[in-house]
Structure 1
Amino acid sequence: MEIFALFAYVVIGVLAGLIGGLLGLSGGVVTVPCLVLVFHLLGFPQDVLMHTAIGTSLSAMVLTGIASTWAHHRHKGVMWDIIMLLIPGIIGGCLLGAFVSNFLSGIILRVIFGVFIGSLGIYVLLQKKKTQPGKRPHKTIYSLLGLGIGFLASLLGIGGGVFMVPLLISHRFSEKKSIGTSAASGLLISIMGSLAYLYFGLKEVGVADSIGYIYLPAFALIGLGTVFFAPLGVKWAHRMDPTMLRKIFAATIILVGILMIFK
């Protein structure tokens, strides 16, 4: 079983890297559900299983975020002015989300995870394409949005792309710039979130080879896979038709949401 788990971590890393680079999701929508399954097969305690999956996902996404953000930046796909406006809120939201998750059961976290990303997928799928450039929200609004996105992303361990991409698209930014900017914000979220889960998990009874809520073997192998395959996903994103890219994004998170709710 341990050999299977090690192989699974590598595969998860490859998939997370490709999807993170392609869709700006930081790979969390793939990593968390897959880790829940693998940790269950390994016999992890149920009271810390979901929290460990989230913490490990966030820590692995640091490497994903570095690789995909750099690749998107090279394609001029990151709106750094928006990132700077989001930073204060994201930092506070990440710390708050990790703190709140410490008081929620694994089942509740899993259902919240599924409902949120499934609903967002439906929203993106049904959203009509807007052709006229829209006004950007006030700077204060971006700080508040960063707080909300950081909170939900840290609470659920999914980076923030599932929230950031629909948000930017709704403000009439292009799909490619929305995905690139999402990847950059996801890097900050994953750094703050993983540090918070490490700290809060130190007080809990964990499993061998873990620090706090971060399981080190999974972190290392998943992170390695994402570093090599996230740039490939970015290349695909900048070559694909925007409408098709939006549909793939929506279908992916709807499917994952359903699987998590009815697991």
Structure 2
Amino acid sequence: MEHLEIVFFFLVIAFVYSSVGLGGGSSYLAILALYHLPFAEMRLTALLCNIIVVTGGTIVFIKNKQVNWRKIIPLVAVSIPLAYAGASLKISQDTFFIVLGFSLLVAGALLWLKTKNAIVGANGNNANYVRDGLLGGAIGFLSGMVGIGGGIFLSPLLNLSRWDVPKRIAATASVFILVNSVAGIAGQLKNLPAEINYTRILLLCLAVLAGGQIGSRMAALKFNQLAVKRITAVVVFAAGVEVLWKHW
């Protein structure tokens, strides 16, 4: 496999994102974009890695009864079909990279926001199904088109709107990333090119499996999540600038 350093980068990304309850799809795409890989392979790789990283966390959240299905269902019921539709949409490589670049800029800005004060007094019963459906649908469509799970957008927005307490928002983001990643892969299947390098995808999946496991355990040890988010925000934003600079 060429560019073996990508395996290391993916391990580190999975470690960082799993420590804050996210999948890392945006950063996987940012790294792959720097190596000019086929964009169809990039999207498939990012979504598969997302699924690997968030599945374990989702199971833990469900076992600990931190998943509020009544509030999550409106989000995912609209996001799943729209993530599929976004992934099925045929777009040019230039369009993909422009959308990806702007998505990374927005994701970096949202990650930078400190939401601790915004969630004080969060009420777990303030469900607004119409708002949640629209939010989930919009993020789902963008996620499917670009090849991410959408948690990097959803989690900060839910915190800012005092949607629920932090642990339930983290659980919601994990479920959201998981189902949207699966829907995104389903939408991509009919448009996948024949020349995809599945050996490279397998190696990267193994890397994020290892990194995700380490990151989850660091989170359990009360890793400084704000510091991790701020560092990640800078990296993601810089990657967005880089992608737009090369493809605008």
Pairwise TM-score range, normalised by the shorter structure: 0.7 to 0.9
Superposed CA RMSD:
2.7
Query: Bigger CA drift: 178-187 or 235-244?
Result: 235-244
* Structure-2 change in CA distance of 1:147 and 1:85 (3 Å): same
- Equivalent residue number for residue 138 of structure 2: 148
The amino acid across from 1:18 in the alignment is F
The SS at the match of 2:121 is coil
Query: Bigger CA drift: 146-155 or 238-247?
Result: 238-247
Structure 1: gaps of 5 or more residues: none
The amino acid across from 1:138 in the alignment is N
- Equivalent residue number for residue 214 of structure 2: 232
* Structure-2 change in CA distance of 1:25 and 1:259 (3 Å): farther
1:247 aligns with 2:234: no
CA deviations on 1:47-93 (whole Å, 9 max, x unpaired) are xx222211221123222221332345566654444332322112111
Counterpart CA distance in 1 for 2:31 and 2:111 is 24
The SS at the match of 2:148 is coil
CA deviations on 1:161-205 (whole Å, 9 max, x unpaired) are 12111121112244454333212211111111112112222xxx5
- Equivalent residue number for residue 102 of structure 2: 115
TM-score (norm 2): 0.82
1:132 aligns with 2:121: yes
CA deviations on 1:18-49 (whole Å, 9 max, x unpaired) are 133123331212211222334x3xxx6xxxx2
Number of matched pairs: 241
Counterpart CA distance in 1 for 2:158 and 2:54 is 18
2:150–2:177: 8 Å Cα contact kept in structure 1? yes
Query: Bigger CA drift: 237-246 or 62-71?
Result: 237-246
TM-score (norm 1): 0.78
Counterpart CA distance in 2 for 1:12 and 1:70 is 26
Counterpart CA distance in 2 for 1:19 and 1:71 is 18
Of the candidates 14, 17, 24, which is equivalent to residue 11 of structure 2? Answer: 14
Runs of 4+ in 1 over 6 A off after TM superposition: none
Percent identical: 22
Q: CA deviation at 1:218?
A: 2.7
1:180 aligns with 2:167: no
Structure 2: gaps of 5 or more residues: none
